[in-house]
Structure 1
Amino acid sequence: MTYPDTYYRRTMANGAERPALSGAVDCDTVIVGGGLAGLTTALQLARAGVSVVVLEAERIGFGASGRNGGFVSPGFATGGDAIARATGKDAAQKIHRLSIEGVNFVRDTIRDLGIADAKPQPGIMSVLRYDGGDSLKQYADQLRRDYGYELEYFGTDAVRSRLKSKRYFQALRDPKAFHMHPLNYLRAVAAETERLGGRIYEKSAVTRCDIDGAEKWATTAGGTVKARRIVFTTGGYTGSLVGKLNRSYLPIATYVMLTEEAPELIREAIATRDAIGDNRRAGDYYRVVEDGKRILWGGRITTRAASPAALAQELRREMTGTYPQLKELKTELAWSGLMSYARHLMPQIGEMQPGVWHCTAFGGHGLNTTAIGGKLVAEGILGQSDRYKLFKPFGLVWAGGIAGLATAQLTYWKLQAQDWWRERVA
């Protein structure tokens, strides 16, 4: 299987394939999963001179890391108050600072490696679909007070001069956040890891592993890897390889569509290069791509993969409901991907037993958080820091299995209903 047919595959800068694992290989650390968390871990270890092997079941960035919305902005899928209740206020602030650090880490990596094909574009706007500017001002004041982090407040007139929709009211713009081409970023990180001596094998699904001894073994159809440490970064495509990990997440599908080229029509609706996300708990996110020629629009979640074509119709209804002037704009492509969500809606980062690390459950958190998760695991392995322990309160708790998936879907529908009602009574 090659990459799914996505906008990112069609605009991939370098499609070179890597070999499958063949024979016996030794290394210090083997990483299972070639997404953003795994590749960031591998890059940081390779920079420190550690012998590292990455095993990817398909191709680099095949999963959600290579086909998402491309947003890089601070914060988590769950709110700061919920994090503080689990960790305490001081730890919660440290965790939020990590998400800011993640934005800077991705930006610095693009700069340092000269990843022009990542096409970073500054600016992400978070918009309200009801009249509630005071809450945004209070949130901006809190970020300024607690973190020295500045957001720009836009009133309704300013928002609607950029986003020509009566659905939108006030907004906060983050000028330090950005959006990018995630697959090109990932492939450049992989190439740098290899340049530093790391080995990456594609089409190398791990079928069996032995993680209980001093030496860890990962077996594929073509070979084996023996290592001192093993890191699992498989996200929404985690299988039954490690039962404790498999039971701790829910695979959630999300959907993205790409419009046809229509720059003049698009300018009638969207007069900004910022990426946009609305305030709904299950909201839309979108951005113009190819210098304003197309719109990449994402949203919707399901607990089992549905037809991308059917979901594209729903996404298109969202787009034209927000921007009636785009009713003639056709959909050219649609795709889906699996994210991993934990029951507590936070990333799962840590060492589950000596020499066995995990870095997963990044659904809804953004590329920056996935990247900083990989960096924290590498720091832990290298003995540089124990910052990964900040996530200890968010452990590998059972996600509920089939009942958990049903609950998640019901919760999503409930949130949709609450969003619908709030917009109509505001």
Structure 2
Amino acid sequence: MTYPDTYYKRTLSDGRERASLNGTVECDTVVVGGGLAGLTTALELVRGGQKVVLLEEKAVGFGASGRNGGFVSPGFATGSDDIARRAGAAAARDIHRLSIEGMEYVRQTIADLAVADAGMTPGIMSVLRYSAPDDLKAYAASLANTYGYELNFLDTAEVRHVLKSERYFQALRDPRAFHIHPLNYLRAIAAEIERLGGRIFEQSPAVSADLDAAEKRVRTPAGEVRARQVVITTGGYTGSLLPRLKRSYLPIATYVMVSEEAPDLIASAIATTDAIGDNRRAGDYYRVVDGGRRLLWGGRITTRAASTEGLVRELRAEMTGTYPQLKGLKTELAWSGLMSYARHLMPQIGPIAPGVWCCTAFGGHGLNTTAIGGKVVAEGILGTSDRYRLFKPFGLVWAGGIAGLAVAQLTYWKLQAQDWWRERAA
């Protein structure tokens, strides 16, 4: 099995390996990339009656889709004001509604496929590391008025009753949001695609393609797929197949660790099954797993290769700085994954040439947005809707290459400093 050694690999319910592509196959649509965006696109296309082939370089769910924090909630990597500035206020509201739909799509898919091993657990809590109750209440009121989407406000005493930390103040709890085992969810979708007649080839990287003619050809080391439509969904692992696409986003690494089994110690700090995220730009996110026996903790981002061991020391410093009582909690596993960020911090969804589509750059907020992205791309290919046009203002803008990575890292450090100062002033 080609997965990195993560908590999700160790608790994987379906470890089947699939054959690589050998020879020539024909289909209606070929999907490149076996993460959540690619799998959702393929699932919706086979449900719509298409012959679909999916190519995955490693194994289904190998990338960030299968090793992330598992949070499923509405929203995007950027805020609604930035979205409205590019797309207009009305379109921004429609786009946010899509993000809610994406969350509900994941919930419904888990129910439809009876994916018990996804471990769907309700509740995500967004906590403040400084006191600003009026801001939270105003935000909650805005969501309720605009979308009919209700969040629960928790004051400082209520927050600290379940999160035993003096670092936290008020919070908003989303009772509709939830968290899951993402790799088990992805593997279940893959199995459903195959049950419906779709074909999935693992260990089959797309190494070259002819995309200009009506019949597209995508080649792997030992085979070729011929199709009328091509969908690229490779995210932070995009290679040179489409240079224009690769240039349009920055690969950003994030880091996750999982603790040893220590249910009593963990419960002394965290007395909730809700997933937790703080309000900083690249803040901590964490949740108890294994029925409260372990703690999964993520955070930090880098724009270049970094030592996972070194970043884990930083994550542990964040954890123990938030919860001093967890100082003795040992880390058992740690890993990293690559996300893709466009300069505008929005997904790149839609056609980029006749018969060529992309669904990528979900910027660390992917379990709901990859789902709806794959769905609207499939709708566009099937001709059942043109909702993908909502993402037209967020196209393939050059991300700046090496200079863009440097600027992104400097921006991240600047935002970290601003977060630090704001907490100090609280």
TM-score by length of 2: 0.99
1:35 alignment partner in structure 2: 35
1:202 has 2:202 as partner: yes
Query: Which residue identity does 1:338 align to in structure 2?
Result: L
Cα distance, 1:26 vs. partner? 0.3
TM-score by length of 1: 0.99
Q: Secondary structure at the match of 2:28?
A: strand
1:50 alignment partner in structure 2: 50
1:126 alignment partner in structure 2: 126
Contact 1:74-1:102 at 8 Å conserved across structures: yes
Contact 1:125-1:275 at 8 Å conserved across structures: yes
Structure 1 unaligned spans of 5+: none
1:297 has 2:297 as partner: yes
Q: Secondary structure at the match of 1:381?
A: helix
2:158 alignment partner in structure 1: 158
1:351-373 residue CA offsets vs partner (Å, 9 max, x unmatched): 00110000000122230111100
1:374 has 2:374 as partner: yes
CA distance in 2, matches of 1:136, 1:351: 38
1:327 alignment partner in structure 2: 327
4+ aligned runs moved over 4 Å, structure 1: none
Query: Which residue identity does 2:390 align to in structure 1?
Result: L
Cα distance, 1:49 vs. partner? 1.1
2:357 alignment partner in structure 1: 357
CA distance in 1, matches of 2:390, 2:383: 15
Q: How many residues get paired?
A: 426
1:21-44 residue CA offsets vs partner (Å, 9 max, x unmatched): 000000000000000000000000
CA distance in 2, matches of 1:366, 1:61: 13
CA distance in 2, matches of 1:366, 1:150: 22
CA distance in 2, matches of 1:16, 1:285: 30
CA distance in 2, matches of 1:195, 1:163: 43
CA distance in 2, matches of 1:259, 1:306: 21
CA distance in 1, matches of 2:305, 2:123: 31
CA distance in 2, matches of 1:358, 1:76: 17
1:243 alignment partner in structure 2: 243
1:214 has 2:214 as partner: yes
Query: Which residue identity does 2:329 align to in structure 1?
Result: L
CA distance in 1, matches of 2:74, 2:133: 20
1:274 alignment partner in structure 2: 274
Structure 2 unaligned spans of 5+: none
Cα distance, 1:282 vs. partner? 1.3
1:306 alignment partner in structure 2: 306
Q: Secondary structure at the match of 1:49?
A: coil
Q: What is the Cα-based RMSD across aligned positions, in Å?
A: 0.6
CA distance in 2, matches of 1:199, 1:142: 44
1:116 alignment partner in structure 2: 116
Contact 1:73-1:368 at 8 Å conserved across structures: yes
Q: How does 1:14-29 map to 2 (within 5 A)?
A: 14-29=14-29
CA distance in 1, matches of 2:241, 2:26: 20
CA distance in 2, matches of 1:331, 1:196: 41
Cα distance, 1:304 vs. partner? 1.4
Cα distance, 1:306 vs. partner? 1.3
Contact 1:232-1:358 at 8 Å conserved across structures: yes
Query: Which residue identity does 1:183 align to in structure 2?
Result: L
1:120-147 residue CA offsets vs partner (Å, 9 max, x unmatched): 0000000000000110000000000000
Contact 1:235-1:339 at 8 Å conserved across structures: yes
CA distance in 2, matches of 1:383, 1:344: 28
Q: Secondary structure at the match of 2:226?
A: strand
Query: Which residue identity does 1:70 align to in structure 2?
Result: G
Cα distance, 1:307 vs. partner? 1.7
Q: Secondary structure at the match of 1:225?
A: strand
Contact 1:73-1:366 at 8 Å conserved across structures: no
- Range with greater deviation from structure 2 (358-367 or 195-204): 358-367
1:277-333 residue CA offsets vs partner (Å, 9 max, x unmatched): 000011000000001001000000001121211111110110000000000001001
Query: Which residue identity does 2:124 align to in structure 1?
Result: I
Query: Which residue identity does 1:93 align to in structure 2?
Result: R
Cα distance, 1:110 vs. partner? 0.2
CA distance in 1, matches of 2:15, 2:304: 29
CA distance in 2, matches of 1:282, 1:257: 16
1:345 alignment partner in structure 2: 345
Cα distance, 1:240 vs. partner? 1.3
Q: Secondary structure at the match of 2:286?
A: strand
1:61-98 residue CA offsets vs partner (Å, 9 max, x unmatched): 00000000000000111011110111111000000000
